[in-house]
Chains A and B, each alone.
Chain A
Amino acid sequence: MEHIELFFKSIFIDNMIFATFLGMCSYLAVSKKVATAVGLGAAVIFVLAITVPLNWLLDVYLLKDGALAWLGPEYAQYDLSFLSFIMFIATIATMVQLVEIVVEKFAPALYNSLGIFLPLIAVNCAILGGSLFMQSREIQTLGLAFNYGISSGIGWFLAILAIAAIREKIRYSDVPAPLRGLGITFIITGLMAIGFMSFGGMLTGGDDEKEPTEQTAVVKKIEIKKDAIDIAKNETEIKE
């Protein structure tokens, strides 16, 4: 239950783009075509799934207040948490490099689709943000950290996929000249974020007996969201 809750919460309620604006730069720069957006999105899920659990281990066994107690009682009073920025970013940069080498060697097909995006990702705010939120939200177990990494990656993936689809369509519509390109993308993202706010009540007010109904409600809401995106697309088509 804990896992399912975290999963849906990270995808919809705390969506990286719409709730915390993480990874906006690559989101805006790479969302002109659906195909490239899918590539980048997949790479983000992949890297988040690796780095968040790794940084969780680092945080729990090295950085937290008293985390060094496993070395012996005399180390128990050390608090290295001020080093977390530099440790996290170093882990991320080396992991990205390592993943790139390993993927190139063992899965050339995957490398061809993800490869060009991997170096870009080391400096993506979404990746470091994932680790920092993992730390500040005090995620309890390694499993949950892995779950958090994957699900927030999926949330990011959904967001970039949706905006890329809309931007492909919007190319044919008559946007006021000064808003073209960047401006309209910002405003559309804002409107999508308002839409995602409606997921806010998704996980509140339920208890264990109501579990099945809650699940169906979730599914319905996702369908509604899809419909909303379709409607938005149709509208842009009509404008053509």
Chain B
Amino acid sequence: MGLLSKKDAKLITDPLADNNPITIQVLGICSALAVTAELKPSIVMAVSVMFVLAMGSTVISLIRNIIPSKIRIIVQLVIAAALVIIVDQILKAFAYELSKQLSVFVGLIITNCIIMGRFEAFALANGPWRSFLDGIGNSAGYGIILIIVGFFRELLGSGSLLGYKVLGDAIEKTGVYAYGYENNGFMLLAPMALITIGIIIWVQRSRNTSLIEQN
């Protein structure tokens, strides 16, 4: 990346794996799990969070020297809420079906711990450009987990990806269904999101043993 210095590039690449907001920092799980039954809402959610986090971090960082520290939580909440309203209105106008599907979880981006966590931990102490990069990096780390979970849940649960039936038709028995394959409807239910993330954490920590926690 010629555009970015090494230190800046690290801001983007670190949260993708070794400092992932979901699996390592344990931030932003709240609204992550409920939307991942299919791939499409997961992608939309990831993009929305990226918009809110990158814009919000930049704004917070620009005004960080004039926010009185006693009321900073409310200031951060109001900025996040304003950005989320923009996202929500855009979704309602251009993708109404999707916004129905995401229901309250768009609104819950406001209290997504990832937003407050990054505002508090990074944007209040760093310049706007670095805060912007940090926002992009962390929301990309969040988005990757969302997309992985959404991918497996939709593929195994309903045999499709983004609505396309990649595994063939379950009713007419084409594709892999001709060999007796069945969809695992359980993947579409809420508990499997938790278990899928548990497995992702397992895989990640067996690959990088320095992340293992003490009991």
Q: A residues near B, CB below 8 A? A: 18-25, 28-29, 82-86, 89-90, 93-94, 119, 122-125, 127-129, 132-133, 135-136, 171, 175-184, 186-187, 189-191, 193-194, 197
Is B209 an interface position by the 8 A CB rule?
yes
Q: B residues near A, CB below 8 A? A: 23, 26-34, 73-74, 77-78, 81-82, 84-85, 88-89, 103-104, 107-108, 110-113, 116, 189-195, 197-199, 201-206, 209, 212-215
25 CB-based A-B contacts, threshold 8 Å: A18-B190, A21-B34, A22-B30, A25-B27, A25-B113, A29-B26, A85-B110, A86-B85, A89-B77, A89-B78, A124-B111, A125-B30, A132-B107, A132-B108, A177-B212, A178-B203, A179-B202, A182-B26, A183-B205, A184-B198, A186-B195, A187-B198, A190-B198, A197-B189, A197-B191
Least Cβ–Cβ distance between A9 and chain B, in angstroms = 16
Closest 4 A-B residue pairs measured CB to CB?
A: A181-B213, A190-B194, A178-B205, A186-B198
Least Cβ–Cβ distance between B4 and chain A, in angstroms = 30
Q: Is the CB of A125 within 8 A of B202?
A: no
- Residue of A28, A84, A181, A191 with highest tally of chain B CB at under 10 A: A181
Q: In whole angstroms, what is the CA distance A93 to B89 when docked?
A: 23
Least Cβ–Cβ distance between A119 and chain B, in angstroms = 7
Q: In whole angstroms, what is the CA distance A95 to B146 when docked?
A: 33
Q: Is the CB of A86 within 8 A of B82?
A: yes
Q: Is the CB of B194 within 8 A of A193?
A: yes
- Residue of B30, B82, B189, B215 with highest tally of chain A CB at under 10 A: B30
Chain A residues with CB under 8 A of B203:
178
User: Which residue of the partner chain A has the closest CB to B31?
Assistant: A125
Q: Is the CB of A85 within 8 A of B81?
A: yes
Q: In whole angstroms, what is the CA distance A22 to B34 when docked?
A: 9
Chain B residues with CB under 8 A of A19:
190
* A123-B111 contact, Cβ under 8 Å, with A85-B81, A180-B213, A183-B205: yes
Q: Is the CB of A82 within 8 A of B190?
A: no
Main secondary structure on chain B at its contact with chain A? helix
Q: Is the CB of A128 within 8 A of B107?
A: yes
User: Which residue of the partner chain B has the closest CB to A195?
Assistant: B191
Q: Is the CB of A21 within 8 A of B193?
A: yes
Q: In whole angstroms, what is the CA distance A204 to B108 when docked?
A: 29
Least Cβ–Cβ distance between A156 and chain B, in angstroms = 12
Contacts between the two chains (Cβ within 8 Å), count:
147
Partner of A85, one of B28, B107, B112, B214: B107
Known: A86-B78, A89-B111, A128-B107. 6 other contacts (CB 8 A): A85-B85, A89-B77, A90-B74, A183-B202, A193-B194, A197-B190
Q: Is the CB of A136 within 8 A of B108?
A: no
Q: Is the CB of B212 within 8 A of A180?
A: yes
Q: In whole angstroms, what is the CA distance A124 to B31 when docked?
A: 11
* A175-B29 contact, Cβ under 8 Å, with A93-B77, A133-B104: no
Least Cβ–Cβ distance between B175 and chain A, in angstroms = 29
User: Which residue of the partner chain A has the closest CB to B114?
Assistant: A25
* A82-B85 contact, Cβ under 8 Å, with A18-B191, A25-B27, A123-B77: yes
Partner of B23, one of A25, A132, A182, A191: A182
Partner of A90, one of B78, B108, B206: B78
* A179-B201 contact, Cβ under 8 Å, with A24-B33, A123-B113: yes
User: Which residue of the partner chain B has the closest CB to A185?
Assistant: B198
User: Which residue of the partner chain B has the closest CB to A178?
Assistant: B205
Q: Is the CB of B26 within 8 A of A28?
A: yes
Chain A residues with CB under 8 A of B206:
178
Q: Is the CB of B190 within 8 A of A25?
A: no
Q: In whole angstroms, what is the CA distance A60 to B112 when docked?
A: 26
Q: In whole angstroms, what is the CA distance A143 to B201 when docked?
A: 43
Q: Is the CB of A175 within 8 A of B215?
A: yes
